[in-house]
């Protein structure tokens, strides 16, 4: 993408844009248990929207309400402007890929994929062609005569994906679509998903555990916890501007420290913490003296064996406690004087001559970060 | 070699011996485990079958037992084997027998279909009901087995008789003036068979449907299939093993049923079980009775073989 995104790429910023899916105050209770708690969300035509959250936070339940398998306890869902309250699943303009795949065990791969097209009374020749094309896409053309029991887990997942994709519905709901695939096939399928979405303009709602997948795929992400939306935004917004400790910690990793605001100006904030004084170069309308948290991503911390030339904020010193070598990067666990551990990741730009790191165990190191790197969190 | 290493050696050799004994024992167990069902079949199925088959190729005589021996020794010490197939020819040529076989099959097939039509929705309902209701309903299905079968058939006689509960009720309600004749008709036999064998249809169907993944119905609906279509394209094919098992469990015993046609059908409904009983007890013609039983067996073995074939194919596919 070059330059500023256009309005059509960010419809959620456009006041006049009409959302394709409108979720209004939706709550779902199972007995006393609240699985989805008062969720409001607008999703726009052509978006690839990711629902991200830990196990049991209500992602599948929300998806099932969109597909029509669960009725909201309260609230309303509109798809394409139509209230879905009384629309049965078989009349909704949606297709869902089930987390359990739900393939028909008595049908071959081919018949499974063709099932949906048959319901729409698509001519037989066209069914054959479309099934063939989609099976080619998911690399299963050699398996079309097999029954689901004769496939591996990843192959079944691809059949389920093909079966949902082949109908090209207005709204595709994918529940953990790529979880069982190996890395290479997953990346390939991610790419294909993005491609299909661009070509056909289908709106996707994708549930995933995998934040990297959510980052690469989606136009926007909603981070869920205990049935509620913690934050909704673009991958960059969620990563660089988390609003809460939960989001900062859930997406990527972060060193989070508690602190007190000592100075709050229009263009900067100073916070006193265990990590020393932290200077943040953007204002935040918070009362001085109030309790806040500061999150710093491990890759935004510089590591050096030389002390900084002049003393100031955003500095700390400690000892290397542990090193994790990840190939392209290394994670350093730095123990400060007050025994707090700070994670720092650094790219391994230089191939070490000897088989040890330049910075190694028990080394005394100095930490520093830019004034723009620290993120102020109010909850 | 020191003292200790020697004793270690003896320990290891004794454990080896122990292991060998265990292995022998295990192999012995395996043989026993296979032997038990084998012996069971031999004693309680094959032996009686061969005895009946033997009697079916004998001739009736007034003696005890009332049939000729298959193997006889003449005075000069020559063994003679007598196999008489007249009984089979007699059964096949006399239209009474063939028409009774056909009538039996007609009644058992119709009853099986009725059981399926009534039992299928019941089984489906039980599977769909809540955990407590499910337990109660299954209990209700099994409950009749706790009272005598004969008693339940007599109860139906009391219900269906001309002066029985149903007729009295209808007359007192003013719906009819004269009692409707139900007892001693084919209708009564159908009622008896369908009632008696219903659990044998419902239970295998229930067991089969319980395993069915509810997400499949959702997946079908999601792909645009209406409930009726989903039933015929997804639910019914997947419950076919249960349908076949239930149908056979009803069809096979119903074909040879004796008590129900005798008590509820009176002399008006002829089923092969009654013929068999009459030949055996009233005419004391054991050879013909045995031949009737053998022919019936073959009529029943045929659908069994079909079922086996189907089962074999289904397991192969899995
Ligand atoms: N039919 C149901 N009856 C009772 N509780 C349910 C039902 N379905 C879901 N729940 C509960 O609702 C909560 C949310 O479930 P859901 O399946 O939406 O989680 P999820 O976010 O999809 O989790 P995962 O990532 O593990 O798939 C869970 O605690 C679950 O136990
Ligand atoms: Mg889920």
Half-sphere exposure of B83 (CA within 13 A, CB side): 4
- Bigger pLDDT: A211 vs B192: B192
A131 and A275 within one domain: no
Contact B222 A105 (CB under 8 A): no
Confidence of residue B313 (pLDDT cuts 50, 70, 90): confident
DSSP state of A18: P
- Residue B4's pLDDT is 47
Nearest to A175 by CA among A218, A205, A139, A211: A205
CB distance B303 to B248 below 8 Å: yes
- Residue B309's pLDDT is 80
Residue A2 falls inside a structural domain:
no
Interchain CB contacts (distance < 8 Å): A and B:
60
Residues B50, B53, B58, B59, CA torsion sign = positive
A263 and A243 within one domain: no
Contact A95 B223 (CB under 8 A): yes
- Give per-residue pLDDT as tens, B224-276: 999 999 999 999 999 998 998 899 899 989 998 999 999 999 888 889 998 89
Q: How far is CA B264 from the centre of its chain?
A: 20
- Residue A366's pLDDT is 83
Residues B167, B173, B176, B177, CA torsion sign = positive
A160 and A21 within one domain: yes
* In the predicted structure, residue A80 carries a pLDDT above the cut 80: yes
- Give per-residue pLDDT as tens, B136-171: 999 999 998 899 999 999 999 999 999 999 999 999
Tell me the two tokens of residue A65. Answer: 């309400």
CB distance A114 to A126 below 8 Å: no
3-state secondary structure A56-105: CCCHHHHHHHHHCCCCCCEEEEEECCEECCCCCHHHCCEEEECCCCCCCC
Contact B220 A167 (CB under 8 A): no
Query: Using CB atoms within 10 A of its CB, is residue A28 exposed (0-12), middle (13-18) or buried (19+)?
Result: buried
CB of A35 shorter than 6 A to ligand 1: yes
CB distance B299 to B102 below 8 Å: no
Closest chain A residue by Cα to residue B234: A104
* In the predicted structure, residue A138 carries a pLDDT above the cut 70: yes
Nearest to B201 by CA among B117, B260, B127: B117
A129 and A44 within one domain: yes
- Give per-residue pLDDT as tens, B93-151: 888 899 999 999 999 999 999 999 999 999 999 999 999 999 999 999 999 889 999 99
Contacts 24+ apart (CB under 8 A), A33-40: A34/A227, A35/A61, A35/A227, A36/A61, A36/A62, A36/A65, A36/A72, A36/A227, A37/A226, A37/A227, A37/A228, A38/A75, A38/A228, A39/A75, A39/A227, A39/A228, A39/A229, A40/A229
- Bigger pLDDT: A138 vs B208: B208
Q: How far is CA A221 from the centre of its chain?
A: 5
CB distance A174 to A97 below 8 Å: yes
- Residue A8's pLDDT is 60
Closest chain A residue by Cα to residue B229: A119
Confidence of residue B1 (pLDDT cuts 50, 70, 90): very low
Mean pLDDT is lowest, of A82-96, A108-122, B23-37, B290-304, for: B23-37
Confidence of residue A147 (pLDDT cuts 50, 70, 90): very high
A370 and A352 within one domain: yes
Contact B218 A69 (CB under 8 A): yes
CB distance A174 to A204 below 8 Å: yes
- Residue B318's pLDDT is 52
Q: Does B243 touch chain A (CB under 8 A)?
A: no
Tell me the two tokens of residue B172. Answer: 């007192």
A312 and A238 within one domain: no
Q: How far is the CA of A228 from the centre of ligand 1 (A)?
A: 13
Average pLDDT, chain A: 84
CB of A61 shorter than 6 A to ligand 1: yes
Phi, then psi, of A92 in degrees rounded to 5: -85, 150
Tell me the two tokens of residue A48. Answer: 């690839």
The helix/strand/coil state of A41 is strand
* In the predicted structure, residue B5 carries a pLDDT above the cut 80: no
Residue A9 falls inside a structural domain:
no
**CA max distance for chain B:** 110
Tell me the two tokens of residue A379. Answer: 């909850």
A49 and A154 within one domain: yes
- Give per-residue pLDDT as tens, A284-323: 666 767 788 888 888 888 887 778 777 777 878 888 888 8
The Cα A373–Cα A301 span in angstroms is 8
Confidence of residue A2 (pLDDT cuts 50, 70, 90): very low
- Residue B194's pLDDT is 96
- Give per-residue pLDDT as tens, A225-253: 999 998 999 988 888 888 888 888 888 88
CB distance B240 to B205 below 8 Å: no
Domain extent, residue A357, equals 253-377
- Residue B9's pLDDT is 60
CB distance B111 to B193 below 8 Å: yes
Tell me the two tokens of residue B246. Answer: 């239930």
CB distance B282 to B211 below 8 Å: no
- Give per-residue pLDDT as tens, A10-42: 777 777 778 889 999 999 999 999 999 999 999
The Cα A264–Cα A286 span in angstroms is 7
Nearest to A296 by CA among A358, A211, A367: A367
- Residue A283's pLDDT is 65
B95-128 vs B236-255: helix axis angle to the nearest 10?
140
Confidence of residue B3 (pLDDT cuts 50, 70, 90): very low
Q: What is the pairing mode between strands A329-336 and A255-264? A: unpaired
A172 and A86 within one domain: yes
Ranges of each domain in chain B: 1-56, 86-317
The Cα A173–Cα A171 span in angstroms is 6
CB of A189 shorter than 6 A to ligand 1: no
Residues 6+ apart with CB under 8 A from B314: B241
- Taking any CB pair shorter than 8 Å as contact, residues of chain A touching chain B are 67-69, 88-91, 94-96, 98, 100, 102-106, 115-116, 119-120, 147, 149, 163, 167
A220 and A205 within one domain: yes
- Bigger pLDDT: B312 vs B7: B312
**What is the share, in percent, of chain B residues with pLDDT greater than 90?**
52
A337 and A199 within one domain: no
Return the best residue to mutate from A26, A52, A56, A70 for the ligand 1 pocket (most ligand atoms within 8 A of CB): A56
A260 and A156 within one domain: no
Question: Of A247, A278, A304, which residue sits at a domain end?
Answer: A247
Tell me the two tokens of residue B288. Answer: 């013909």
Residue A186 falls inside a structural domain:
yes
Query: Nearest bound ligand to CA A35?
Result: 1
Whether the bond between A189 and the residue before it is cis, its omega within 30 degrees of 0, is: no
Q: What pTM was computed for the model?
A: 0.76
The Cα B64–Cα B177 span in angstroms is 55
Question: Of A247, A273, A289, which residue sits at a domain end?
Answer: A247
Query: How many angstroms separate the Cα of B272 from the Cα of each of A363, B53, B182?
Result: 98, 18, 21
Closest chain A residue by Cα to residue B237: A106
Choose from A203-217, A220-234, A364-378 the range with maximum mean pLDDT: A220-234
- Give per-residue pLDDT as tens, B51-82: 999 999 888 888 888 888 888 888 888 888 88
- Residue B209's pLDDT is 93
Tell me the two tokens of residue B231. Answer: 């039933």
The Cα A102–Cα A97 span in angstroms is 8
B186-210 vs B149-160: helix axis angle to the nearest 10?
130
The helix/strand/coil state of B94 is coil
B86-317 under CATH 1.20.950.20, yes or no: no
* In the predicted structure, residue A370 carries a pLDDT above the cut 70: yes
Whose Cα sits closest to atom 22 in ligand 1? Answer: A60
The helix/strand/coil state of B3 is helix
Region B286-312: mean pLDDT is 84
Return the best residue to mutate from A35, A178, A213 for the ligand 1 pocket (most ligand atoms within 8 A of CB): A35
- ipTM for the predicted complex: 0.77
The Cα A41–Cα A24 span in angstroms is 7
Number of C-beta neighbours around residue B232 at 10 A: 10
Question: Of A214, A229, A247, which residue sits at a domain end?
Answer: A247
Name the helix (H) or strand (E) containing B17: helix B3-41
Tell me the two tokens of residue A214. Answer: 């959510």
A266 and A168 within one domain: no
What is the number of structural domains in chain A?
A: 2
CB distance A250 to A238 below 8 Å: no
Residue A4 falls inside a structural domain:
no
> Residue A224: which CATH number?
3.40.50.300
Residue A198 falls inside a structural domain:
yes
CB of A57 shorter than 6 A to ligand 1: yes
The helix/strand/coil state of A123 is coil
Region A139-163: mean pLDDT is 89
């Amino acid at each position: 993408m070059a330059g500023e995104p256009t309005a059509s790429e960010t419809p959620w910023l456009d006041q006049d844009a009409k959302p394709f899916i409108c979720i209004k105050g939706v709550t779902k209770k199972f007995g006393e248990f609240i699985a989805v708690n008062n969720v409001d969300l607008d999703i726009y035509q052509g978006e690839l929207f990711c629902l991200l959250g830990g196990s049991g936070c209500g992602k599948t339940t929300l998806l099932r309400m969109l597909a029509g398998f669960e009725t909201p306890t309260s609230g309303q869902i509109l798809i394409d402007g139509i209230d879905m309250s009384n629309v049965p699943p078989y009349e909704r303009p949606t297709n869902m890929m089930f987390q359990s795949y739900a393939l028909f065990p008595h049908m071959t791969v081919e018949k499974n994929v063709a099932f949906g097209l048959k319901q729409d009374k698509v001519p037989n020749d066209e069914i054959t062609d479309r099934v063939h094309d989609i099976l080619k896409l998911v690399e299963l053309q050699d398996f079309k005569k097999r029954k689901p029991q004769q496939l591996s887990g990843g192959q079944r997942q691809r059949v389920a994906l093909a079966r949902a994709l082949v109908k090209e519905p207005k709204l595709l709901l994918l529940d953990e679509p790529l979880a069982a695939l190996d890395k290479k096939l997953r990346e390939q399928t991610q790419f294909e998903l993005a491609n299909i979405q661009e070509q056909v303009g289908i709106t996707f709602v994708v549930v995933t555990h995998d934040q990297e997948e959510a980052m690469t795929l989606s136009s926007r992400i909603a981070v869920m916890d205990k049935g509620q939306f913690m934050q909704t935004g673009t991958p960059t917004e969620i990563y660089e501007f988390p609003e809460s400790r939960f989001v900062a910690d859930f997406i990527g990793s972060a060193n989070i420290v508690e602190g007190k605001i000592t100075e709050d100006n229009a263009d900067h904030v100073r916070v006193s913490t265990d990590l020393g004084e932290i200077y943040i170069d953007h204002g935040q309308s918070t009362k001085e003296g109030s309790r806040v948290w500061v999150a710093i991503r491990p890759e935004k911390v510089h590591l050096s064996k030389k002390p900084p030339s002049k003393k100031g904020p955003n500095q700390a010193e400690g000892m290397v406690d542990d090193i994790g070598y990840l190939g392209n990067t290394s994670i350093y666990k730095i123990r400060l004087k007050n025994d707090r551990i700070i994670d720092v990741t650094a790219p391994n730009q230089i191939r070490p001559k000897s088989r040890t790191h330049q910075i190694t165990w028990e080394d005394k190191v100095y930490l520093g970060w830019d004034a723009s790197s620290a993120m102020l969190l109010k909850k | 070699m020191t003292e200790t290493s020697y004793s270690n050696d003896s320990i290891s050799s004794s454990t080896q011996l122990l292991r060998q004994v265990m292995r022998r024992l295990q192999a012995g167990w395996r043989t026993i485990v296979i032997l038990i069902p084998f012996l069971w079949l031999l004693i309680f199925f094959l032996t009686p079958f061969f005895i009946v088959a033997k009697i079916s190729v004998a001739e009736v005589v007034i003696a005890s037992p009332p049939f000729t021996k298959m193997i006889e020794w003449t005075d000069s010490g020559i063994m003679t084997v007598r196999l008489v197939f007249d009984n089979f020819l007699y059964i096949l040529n006399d239209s009474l027998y063939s028409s009774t076989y056909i009538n039996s099959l007609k009644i058992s097939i119709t009853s099986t279909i009725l059981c399926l039509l009534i039992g299928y929705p019941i089984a489906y309902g039980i599977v769909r009901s809540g955990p407590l209701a499910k337990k109660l309903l299954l209990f209700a299905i099994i409950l009749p087995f706790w009272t005598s079968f004969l008693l339940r058939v007599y109860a139906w006689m009391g219900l269906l008789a001309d002066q029985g509960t149903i007729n009295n009720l209808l007359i007192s309600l003013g719906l009819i003036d004269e009692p409707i004749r139900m007892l001693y008709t084919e209708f009564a036999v159908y009622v008896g068979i369908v009632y008696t064998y219903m659990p044998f249809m419902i239970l295998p169907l229930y067991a089969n449907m319980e395993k069915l993944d509810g997400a499949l119905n959702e997946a079908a609906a999601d792909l645009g299939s209406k409930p009726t279509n989903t039933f015929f394209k997804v639910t019914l094919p997947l419950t076919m093993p249960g349908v076949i098992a239930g149908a056979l469990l009803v069809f096979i015993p119903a074909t040879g049923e004796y008590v129900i046609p005798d008590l509820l059908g009176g002399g008006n409904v002829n089923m092969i079980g009654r013929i068999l009983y009459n030949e055996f007890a009233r005419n004391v013609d054991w050879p013909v009775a045995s031949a009737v039983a053998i022919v019936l067996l073959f009529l029943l073995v045929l659908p069994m073989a079909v079922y086996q074939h189907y089962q074999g194919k289904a397991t192969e596919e899995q």
